[in-house]
Amino acid sequence: MNSITIINANSAHFKEILEIMNFEILNKTSLYDYNERTITDVEKIYESKMLKNYPFFVAIQNNEVIGYAYYDSYNPKQGYLYTVEHSIYLKSGNEGKGIGKLLMNKLIETAKDQKIKTMIALIDNENQNSVLFHEKYNFETVGIMKKVGFKFNRWLDCRIMQVIL
C-alpha cells in the first residue's frame, strides 16, 4: 500500500470531501442528514473551522482524498470553550486500514496543542465499529440519548463518548 499523508484540507479537496460526505448521508446513519450537501456547504464548514482556528484534515493516498477529519465547538456557550466535538469520515472501502487512526492521532495532537481539555464524539449507537475505535483512544460512553435521530424510516439512538485530554 502506498503511504498515507495527513495534511490540512484546502479548496482543492472539497469535491472529494463532498463525495465522502454525501455517501455517508445517502447510505449510512453516521450523519443524520437526509439531503445531499453541495460544494457551498463544504466551503461553509471549512470556513467555520478556519475562523475558529480549528483543524480540518484530509488523508491523502495516491493524490486522492480517502478520509477527512475535523472538530468544532461542542457548544457555543463560553463555558464550553475547551470542549470540542470531532468527526472522522473515510471513503467507502478504506475502513480497517489505519486511516482513521492517523486522522484521530492528528486531531488529538492538535487539540492538546490548542489546550482543548475534552473531546466529544456523538456516534449512532448501532455503529459498533466506531464505538470500539473510540474506546482504543480511551473515550468512554457517558450517555445514550434514546430515539433522538430519525433516518431510513426508523428511530436512532445516539451514543455520547468523551475523552479527557
User: Per-residue pLDDT tens for 2-17?
Assistant: 799 999 999 999 999 9
Domain count, the chain: 1
User: Per-residue pLDDT tens for 18-34?
Assistant: 999 999 999 999 999 99
Rounded mean pLDDT, 37-42? 98
Residue 138 has pLDDT above 60, yes or no: yes
pTM above 0.85, yes or no: yes
CATH, residue 88: 3.40.630.30
List the domain range (segments joined by +) for residue 129.
5-164
Q: What mean pLDDT is reported for the chain? A: 97
Burial 111-143 (b: 16+ CB within 10 A, else e): beeeebeebbbbbbbebeebbebbeeeebeeee
* Rg, the chain, Cα only: 15
Cell readout for 122 is 456523538
**Nearest CA among 23, 13, 26, 29 for reference residue 70:** 13
Q: 151 pairs with which residues across the strands?
A: 154
